[in-house]
Structure 1
């Protein structure tokens, strides 16, 4: 399917690209050292942090994938969204104070602070692998696929290469400051674009009541029975585990929080990011349902989003939505580029050559960003050839990340977890999870050997429990010294981080804000349960 764009549509896209590049080079004039480039001088305010968290998550693959999934399965897909709010509440309460107190550049660096160098490097290598082969390659493949549909002159690889080049150039030029400011603009574009699609779609189906009158109950239920093939309620704990890795232990997102000007900004930014995920019920889920009512016979669910654009929007508005889509893709790429450059520079280069100056580290980070950009372009044809791998994205993380969550949670909350136990838990459980994924989800060897049919979200919970047991057992076997107080959570960390003179103003208390977000999330779940 191809869609011709009007001259005005093309003009909107070109103006947006030009503005993004100009901002990247303008921001780059302020980068003087590694702190500036990787963490924006640790000066970010909470609105920028929250908007950037949201924009980086809502990649082109998310636009296409979430709307396509809701087209196929209904509102049950929203469970992958509200769990993000729950996880970010936990992060704001318990994890942000520890990470900010340690003045980390990267998430793997926490394992060096809490455990040892080799555990840090093991997790840094794991993070680079997921960034390169899942986040960057997936975003480029999905973005190239959709954009080539709207600009027929571009092949899939050509569209992906153009996006990679643009995102890479302004990330190299401006660092994290350019990334987060651009992400805030992109978040606004995505929200506006989604509202336009929702408004046009509801008009086409005859309104809210008419939409739900056309749908059977199975498509409007959020909580499914244990026998459901897509997401049984027994797998919700596994979804939470995926969220813990994705939002709180992934450099891709946590880098924004590490760049906060203070703990107050970090906490409010995380809560704001969680709040922005809740309206995806309307921005992503409902358009999928609308597409199902209007176009029930699409060849594949991923066509739902582009079909809504082509069939419902007039010339001019199409350019706005395509720009929003490009913005979403670039938000994901700039985040991945900057995160990967941070890890290579601060977790590998600096420890190996501690005498390296800040100016040199800055340019090494820029060089790594450029290399990742080129690698991303090169891997797209392979993804196109072996694209079935990306249909297993969620299940892949479900098998390989539970050990990561167990190790970090143990380090954060149990002072007697030893460095040796943490290292071997990761070294044993990550390959074990990957082998299980290949046997069960790819080759079918699990079923051939008579293995039980366990949903991947439930498998995530079982692997987490196994990793916790292994971590505890190894810590007993290889006892280590108690963790230093500043490296794990303490009850005083829950104190009110107030401004002078605002102690009595409850609205400034992040704990009340967290409670409000939790109640809003629960209300949405119960309304659509």
Structure 2
């Protein structure tokens, strides 16, 4: 195995053609975009296949290609915990939160939080979402794409590549809105899944079969469950940090949930989420195991995040590797375009329309486009700084572990217990999130200073946040309008009523059947690789 990157004219040609087509085709499906519902939610007409593919494309960005394969190389398959846990989280989502999101017909999750609590919580969460979109999600996606692109063109600076990717993503996002984004996501997700499958098969063949491929890895590197003292992913952290990170990302993050907010119906939103869950199970084979198997092929890689591009160049035929790398770059821009649409929706609907309700629909769409450009500029400036972190995936998961537990507490405790009031939610958000940022810097950014593993820190943060949330609510009394609050909180009545409605529905149309099938499939994989 050479590990050398030799680009050919055929690869470059395929690369350019695919990128051009993947940018132009979605514009033909952009819709009229005459009002905010058209532009930001695709007229609320998305079907379940589009939703499922878009959820995967938004998540399976270059950060998955580069980050998951790199983590598989550096620490083994235990990183799959973030993927299989997603299936459990999506089941919780479709039972507990999605019905209330769609019933309230909100544009954004901060808007929903405003209905559950008050305007203060809405503004606080909208501000955090914008921060996360630019400094966590978009910056990571741009950095991952730049790492892959430098495989092709190593003489380009990281910043120049980041700017180029941002422009590539921004152009059709500004023009096309969420409808164009969803079509682009479907194209990218399909190619990503096919490309990952091809790389997995080829690396298995090159390694000489399953036994030889796994021989270079240690027992811990081939296990999903690691000891409690493990530095990267201790097993108690699965039920603390991994679960909390996932609950935030998949169920309370505007970037991801916006796809389901545009669902044609609750059923389409649920089926799309379950479909995405089944595709997430395949990530072990598409991204993580190729990185782990590469230990035997490239035992001394300086940068684990280069393992997937290295495999692509060494194993894929000329032309196909150009397509694969183009798909990787396109996957990055698909994630970026999703983030841009999310950021522009937040600014437009949570700030502009909230404070200036008389703003015309045309003006709202234009403001959303201007916001897209602004968010791109901020992310471009921050993205190159991620090179200072040990690994991309480590950066993503550690920063989330410190800042998102208060959000999970506010959403889930609030949806399950009507007694939680607006003051408690606001204090929890504005007090605990900045505190999380502070401890992230102290524990993770300053060298050799981490006194506690970040997944354990997430559990502690959630416990403190829940105590603050419940304590303030008990001390200051119930919400002023309990009747309104009960309309956006879960009760067993919903389950009983829905059970009656589903009676007689064929199994293949019953989302509960598919949710159980998803959980059983997950359990089988976890048991096999535990």
Task: Name the TM tier (shorter chain).
Answer: over 0.9
- Residues 350-407 of structure 1: CA deviation (Å, up to 9, x unaligned): 01110112122111111211222333334445555x5569653311111111111001
Q: Is the 8 A contact 1:496 1:510 kept in 2?
A: no
How far apart in 1 are the matches of 2:148 and 2:391? 18
Moved more, 499-508 or 190-199: 499-508
Which residue of the partner structure matches residue 155 of structure 1? 157
Q: Pairwise mapping of residues 212-291 of structure 1 onto structure 2 (< 5 A)?
A: 212-237=214-239, 238-291=241-294
How far apart in 2 are the matches of 1:463 and 1:44? 36
Change (3 A) 1:94 1:220: same
Change (3 A) 1:192 1:62: same
Counterpart among 131, 145, 148 of residue 146 in structure 1:
148
How far apart in 1 are the matches of 2:44 and 2:503? 24
Which runs of 5 or more structure 2 residues have no equivalent in the other structure? none
Q: Is the 8 A contact 1:175 1:338 kept in 2?
A: yes
Q: Pairwise mapping of residues 11-160 of structure 1 onto structure 2 (< 5 A)?
A: 11-152=13-154, 154-160=156-162
Return the TM-score normalized by structure 2. 0.94
SS in 2 for 1:230: coil
Q: Per-residue deviation at 1:216?
A: 3.1
Q: Is the 8 A contact 2:129 2:254 kept in 1?
A: yes
How far apart in 1 are the matches of 2:448 and 2:296? 39
Which residue of the partner structure matches residue 511 of structure 2? 510
SS in 2 for 1:260: coil
Return the TM-score normalized by structure 1. 0.94
Q: Pairwise mapping of residues 128-207 of structure 1 onto structure 2 (< 5 A)?
A: 128-152=130-154, 154-207=156-209
Which residue of the partner structure matches residue 347 of structure 1? 350
Which residue of the partner structure matches residue 527 of structure 2? 526
How far apart in 2 are the matches of 1:501 and 1:309? 47
RMSD, aligned CA: 2.2
How far apart in 2 are the matches of 1:439 and 1:48? 41
Which residue of the partner structure matches residue 310 of structure 2? 307
SS in 2 for 1:261: coil
Which runs of 5 or more structure 1 residues have no equivalent in the other structure? 448-452
Q: Per-residue deviation at 1:339?
A: 0.3
Which residue of the partner structure matches residue 333 of structure 1? 336
Which residue of the partner structure matches residue 439 of structure 1? 442
Change (3 A) 1:378 1:231: closer
Q: Pairwise mapping of residues 397-436 of structure 1 onto structure 2 (< 5 A)?
A: 397-436=400-439
- Residues 83-122 of structure 1: CA deviation (Å, up to 9, x unaligned): 1111011001111101111111011111111111111001
Q: Is the 8 A contact 1:2 1:151 kept in 2?
A: no
Counterpart among 375, 378, 401 of residue 375 in structure 1:
378
SS in 1 for 2:221: helix
How far apart in 2 are the matches of 1:236 and 1:501? 33
Change (3 A) 1:523 1:155: same
Q: Is the 8 A contact 2:73 2:291 kept in 1?
A: yes
How far apart in 1 are the matches of 2:409 and 2:186? 32
How far apart in 1 are the matches of 2:144 and 2:287? 16
